[in-house]
Each structure stands twice: as C-alpha cells, then as structure tokens.
Chain A
Amino acid sequence: MSAVIRLKAAPRPSKFDFEQQLRRHGMDLPPLAVDTLQVNITKLCNQVCRHCHVDASPSRTEMLSPEGVAKCLEILERHPRIRTLDLTGGAPELHPQFDAFVERAVALGKHVMVRHNLTVQLDGHPVTKQGKQYLPQFFARHRVEVVSSLPYYQAYFTDAQRGSGVFAKSMQALKRLNAEGYGIEGSGLVLNLVYNPVGPYLPAAQAELEAAYKRELKNKFGLVFNSLYTITNMPINRFRLHLEKSGQHEAYMDKLLAAFNPAAAEGVMCRSLVSVGHDGRLYDCDFNQMLAMDAVDARGKALSIFDFDFDKVLGRPIRFGEHCLGCTAGAGSSCGGATA
C-alpha cells in the first residue's frame, strides 16, 4: 500500500481536459471535509445494468475482506467527523458481512446509507441463492437510509437500462419498503430514489422530475418516497463502451463540456467524501475507483484504509479526469443528486 503513483508522460492536450476547465473559470476544488466514508464492498450484483460504471454483475467476485470491514469500522469509531457510512456495490447486501457491518456502524452512532437496487430483495443472492426478503425489516430496524435507483416511473426506460422485468420487481420491492414505513411522512425512515438518463443526455430538472415521479408512482402504484436524486451518466466503463460502439462518445463529451457549470463544480461530492475499494485502497469517488485512480496524499503516495490518516485524506489533492465533466454539467451530479 506504499506505492507512489507514477506520473505518465504528459498526454496530448484534450479538449475535454477537466483541470483546464477549472483554470478557465479560476477555480480550485480542494476537499472541504471528510464527512462520508463510501465503501464499495462488492462488485457482485444480481443485475447487469447497461450504464453501470462498476461493470457489476452476478459473475463478479471482488469483496472487501473481513480485515477491511474491521478497518473501516475502526476508522468510523476513531473519527467522529466522519458521520456517514455509505455502502455501495454491486449490490452491497450480497457481501457476507453486510448485516454485521451495518449493525456495528449503527451502534457507533453513524448514519448509514445503503445503495439498494430494490430487486435484490426478490432475486436474492445470484450465486448462493440465499433469500434477501428480510431486507426491508432489517433496514427499518436499524433506521438505515435507503437510496434506490429507478431510472423512470415507467417500465419502458427502466427495463431498457436495468433489464427486462426490473420495473415490475422494483414496484413490488418499493411496496415492501413502504409497508415498513419507508417514505411515509413522519416515520423517519428515509427512502430516496435515483433517476439517471437512459442514454447520452442530461437529466431533467430535479424538482420537476421529483414531482412527476411522486404523482405517477402514487396514482398508478400507490407508492411513496422522500426525495428524487438526478444523476448524470458517467462516460466510463460499460456506458463509455456503449457510447463508443454507437458513435456517440464525442457528442456526449461535447454536451458535458458545453454544459459545464461552475456552481455545480463547487458542490462535487469528492470534496466531502472518500471512497473505499474492495481492496482497502482509497479514491476520491466511486468513479475514480473504477478507473483505478487512487487518492493520493500531497506527496503523491496512494492512500489506504490500512494506514488511514484523517489529515492526509482531508489535505489530499483531488485527482480529476475527463469523466469529471459528468459531475459538473448542468445542475451537477453526485450521489446526493444535483449539486447546483
């Protein structure tokens, strides 16, 4: 874990150079806080979504080790300024220590968020076939905040992106969450949904889309939720491959570049969280993690949970790439939705 990141020879300047965009706008984006530890505990997933930046699927095997889980809990315990544990994947519930990880983080007084894909409740574990129907009750018992992807309030877009039949299953899973009190006013059990476009275009305005989701899901399915987060598709991995194969990559990058919004850039999530990979390495965000762009300290040394130093993490220079234009386009994009 002591590898120093080697800088490659300066590449040819790209018109999509994110740091040049920042300089053009006289901006610098250092970290402001480390209030969230976002842990990608497994790339295993019961779904194979066409836009997935993790390239997650039932055939992935990467898992955070028991030592890694213990180390994350130790970091959470030692650093009260890290108030939130954000568990993601893959489907994080498929990690063998998922339940224990949540229980212990909650016992430490941390706010726990789970990026829950809904269908895993009904599909269960794709390899062991272990059932996951208990999840709504488990989440409610530990007052976990549930954040779930639902690309649209209709089947057409949702199934196109996440697989045939996913929309119908998602409606069933949401019903089960509502039955436990999730999304119900006054329950304190938070259920947020995530919209992302089903192709190379930018999300609609978050507030307007949230109103449409609430109206349609209530009227057609009797379902409720708290907030809708709009997220832009990142031009990396599986989605980038689709863009390249369909000849749309440059046009999409042009769109992101043209929509660069300094106000959105100010609120990018890498300024307040740090991302943990399945091997314990630290990253500025889940996207950098999937591109193997380690977070580094001021001297260029890769950071890890196994020699975690809060001040070094807070003082690190955030590493940017072309894909960061996805977080700064239009109203911005983050794990918490629009940033501007």
Chain B
Amino acid sequence: MSHYYESEDLKKFGDIGQHAKALADDFFKYYGNVTGADGALTKREKALIALAVSHAQKCPYCIDAYTTQCLETGANPEQMMEAVHVAAVMQAGITLVHSVQMQNHLKKLVL
C-alpha cells in the first residue's frame, strides 16, 4: 500500500520534467539561481527563509531538504528554530489581523 508524502519521493522531484520539460527546466534554473548561490542574501539566510516557508506551507519534503541545507550552510539549531517561530508568528498575526475585518463588520451589524 502506498502513502502520501513518501520521503523517497523527494528524489523524484527532478522527474517533473518528464512532461512539459521546458517549463520544468525554466523552474529549476530559476530555483538554482535563487537558492544555489550567495546574492544580496547569503545561502545560509536563504536556507533559513526556505525552512520557515516549508513550515508555513507544511511541506515535509521541504522541511527535510532545508533542515539539511541549513546545516550545510552553517546555521545552528537556535537560528533554525527562530526561523520557524517567525513563520508561526506570521501565521498567527495573519489570523489575528483579520479580526479587524471581523470588528469592522461587527460595528456595521450592531445597532
């Protein structure tokens, strides 16, 4: 019986080019250019951002890949956990800031 989110499937990411190869090639080139080298941000900083996004988007493939990438770029567990807290607090903030909309509508409804 197969399961969703098999860790072995991460290796097959490159196979998305089996169909619509030109688009996959464009994506991987862009991906490599963004994450594969130091730019205005270091590779380490980019890996920490990617780790935070991986958690916010709840992608287990990305969490594995960017935990490793963070270590391979010299990040430490405190920095990695802080990045996850940034993702968590952003999600909490995004939820809470929507309560302004709730309050706006509440004011309209209440006599």
A residues with a Cβ closer than 8 A to B are: 152, 154, 156-157, 197-199, 201-205, 208-209, 212
Known contacts A208-B42, A208-B44; is-contact A201 B74 (Cβ 8 Å):
no
Of B73, B77, B78, which one neighbours A204 at CB under 8 angstroms? Answer: B73
Chain B residues in 8 Å Cβ range of A197 = 71-72
Chain A residues in 8 Å Cβ range of B43 = 205
Chain A residues in 8 Å Cβ range of B74 = 204-205, 208-209, 212
Chain B residues in 8 Å Cβ range of A208 = 42, 44, 73-74
Closest chain A residue, CB of each to CB of B71: A201
Chain B residues in 8 Å Cβ range of A156 = 76-77
Q: List 15 A-B pairs, Cβ < 8 Å.
A: A152-B76, A154-B76, A156-B76, A156-B77, A157-B76, A197-B71, A202-B72, A204-B71, A204-B72, A204-B74, A205-B43, A205-B73, A208-B42, A208-B44, A212-B74
CB of B101 to closest CB in A, whole Å: 43
Closest chain A residue, CB of each to CB of B69: A201
- Whether the pair A201, B42 counts as a contact (CB closer than 8 A) is no
Chain A residues in 8 Å Cβ range of B71 = 197-199, 201, 204
Chain A residues in 8 Å Cβ range of B33 = none
Q: How far is the CA of A199 from the CA of B76 in the complex (A)?
A: 13
Closest chain A residue, CB of each to CB of B77: A156
CB of B75 to closest CB in A, whole Å: 8
Give residues of chain B (8-66) contacting chain A, Cβ–Cβ below 8 Å: 42-44
- Whether the pair B77, A201 counts as a contact (CB closer than 8 A) is no
Closest chain B residue, CB of each to CB of A254: B11
Does B68 make an interface contact (CB < 8 A)? yes
Chain A residues in 8 Å Cβ range of B42 = 208
Of A157, A201, A205, which one neighbours B68 at CB under 8 angstroms? Answer: A201
Closest chain B residue, CB of each to CB of A152: B76
CB of A216 to closest CB in B, whole Å: 9
**Shortest 7 CB-CB distances between A and B: which pairs?**
A204-B74, A209-B74, A201-B72, A202-B72, A201-B71, A201-B68, A204-B73
CB of B68 to closest CB in A, whole Å: 5
B64-100 vs A, CB cutoff 8 Å, 1 = contact: the mask equals: 0000100111101110000000000000000000000
CB of B76 to closest CB in A, whole Å: 6
- Whether the pair B44, A204 counts as a contact (CB closer than 8 A) is yes
Q: How far is the CA of A197 from the CA of B68 in the complex (A)?
A: 11
CB of B45 to closest CB in A, whole Å: 11
Closest chain B residue, CB of each to CB of A156: B77
